[in-house]
Amino acid sequence: MFRPRLISIAVATLTGLALSACSPKDEQRSVSAVLADSVLLPAYAAWTEADHQLAASGKAFCDGSQDLPAARQAFLAAQSAWAGLQPLLVGPLAEGNRTWQVQFWPDKKNLVARQVEALLKSKPELSVADLDKASVVVQGLTAYEYVLFDNAIDLGDAAQKSRYCPLIVAIGQHQQALADQTLAQWQGDAGMAAQLKKFPNDRYADSGEAMAELLRAQVTALDALKKKLGTPLGRQSKGIPQPYQAEAWRSQASLASIAASLASAERLWRGANDDGVKALLPADQAELVKRLDAAYADTRQRIADPQRPLTELITDEQGRQALGEVYDSLNTLHRLHEGELAKALGIQLGFNAHDGD
């Protein structure tokens, strides 16, 4: 008479064990899906919208219906949106060297200026088709920034404006087309967002692979932020500052770009409501969660503190010290992700895109 009860207990035990065994994957699936919908897809949509605004701004500036400050603001918005994507570079945009089409950095030998001038000399009536066939050095935001912000270019002069406007318009249209194509690859039943929600698929065998790639992208981006600050600080040149090696130095948007990337990395960590990567850590990792939360807050505050552009901060000891503290804070954040977080999640990071730089 005890047999039915014993069978039910055994079934319940086995079911509980099975659910327990599936739980980590279920959690990874849930977090991957949440991040796809609440963090990644909105960021790609925002980047696309910023590039539409950039293309419209370029045309408006060149036809005389928009002034230079407004055109520069459209560039800064596009630069910020692009910086926000960098911790989220998984899928189509991360493949086929497409990121070089968006931004050429670091520009160690002033290739952007030299190639822009050479291109306009050879093709004074530059078309979008001409730009599409040209080098990535002149296709993206760094070339656009050069034209709008470089001190040697006077866009208030009608002749100079006429010379550079074909490139401004062509870059805007090239960026818009690239963003539209990328966003389309994120959307739809077989798009990148869907591949982060339903497994297995053509890209990921399971949710564990998806989460591993998201963490790799985040770690790579944090490492890149160290380079974007360390290079102009002279961390790779025996302490000799290299201000012209900073990202977006002409527009003085270097620190704002780092802040935008950091904010995006933190959104990946937190999710929309503490349902991001941090939700995968078990209760016994509460101390690691606290340290990561604190590290993000510390880096965020240190980037916000300086009231001067990076290129000015580098010129004096106090400014370099403040930037050095930002770098050290970024380094702590990067190491926590690369080491302790990856280990706690059981993720092997493998090759880093910035290894050897």
Q: What are 43's two structure tokens?
A: 């960021």
Q: What is the pLDDT of residue 306?
A: 87
Contact 202, 195 (CB under 8 A): yes
**Before 200, cis peptide (omega within 30)?**
yes
Residue with tokens 């539409």: 52
Q: What is the pLDDT of residue 351?
A: 53
Kindly provide the residue ranges of all beta strands, DSSP E only, lying in 32-75, ordered along the sequence. none
DSSP 37: I
Contact 292, 269 (CB under 8 A): yes
Closest CA to 117 of 87, 82, 160: 160
- B/e letters for 73-100, b = 16+ CB within 10 Å, e = fewer, are ebbbbbbbbbbbbbbbbbbbbbeeeebe
Residue with tokens 């919908």: 37
CA distances from 1 to 11, 14, 146 (A): 17, 21, 86
Q: What is the pLDDT of residue 72?
A: 98
Closest CA to 199 of 30, 13, 41: 30
Q: What is the pLDDT of residue 172?
A: 98
Q: Average pLDDT per run of 10 along the chain, which is 357 residues long?
A: 41 38 74 98 98 98 98 98 98 94 94 98 96 97 98 97 98 98 97 97 96 97 96 86 94 97 98 96 97 98 93 94 96 98 92 44
Taking the mean position of all CA atoms in its chain, how far away is CA 352? 15
Closest CA to 244 of 176, 142, 331, 158: 142
Q: What is the pLDDT of residue 331?
A: 97
Q: What is the pLDDT of residue 25?
A: 67
CA distances from 123 to 59, 169, 199, 264 (A): 19, 14, 49, 39
Question: Which residues are CB-contacts of 315 (< 8 A; sequence separation ≥ 6)?
Answer: 241, 243
Q: What is the pLDDT of residue 83?
A: 98
| Calpha distance 323→255 (Å, rounded) | 10
Q: What is the pLDDT of residue 255?
A: 97
**Would you put residue 187 in left (φ > 0), alpha (ψ -120 to 50) or beta?**
beta
CATH class of 26-345: mainly alpha
Q: What is the pLDDT of residue 265?
A: 98
Contact 28, 208 (CB under 8 A): yes
Q: Tell whether pTM > 0.85.
A: yes
CA distances from 190 to 166, 199, 203 (A): 37, 12, 10
Gyration radius of the chain's alpha carbons: 23
Crossing angle for the helix pair 254-270 and 207-233, to the nearest 10 degrees = 160
Q: What is the pLDDT of residue 349?
A: 86
CA distances from 13 to 2, 4, 63, 182, 354 (A): 16, 14, 73, 47, 48
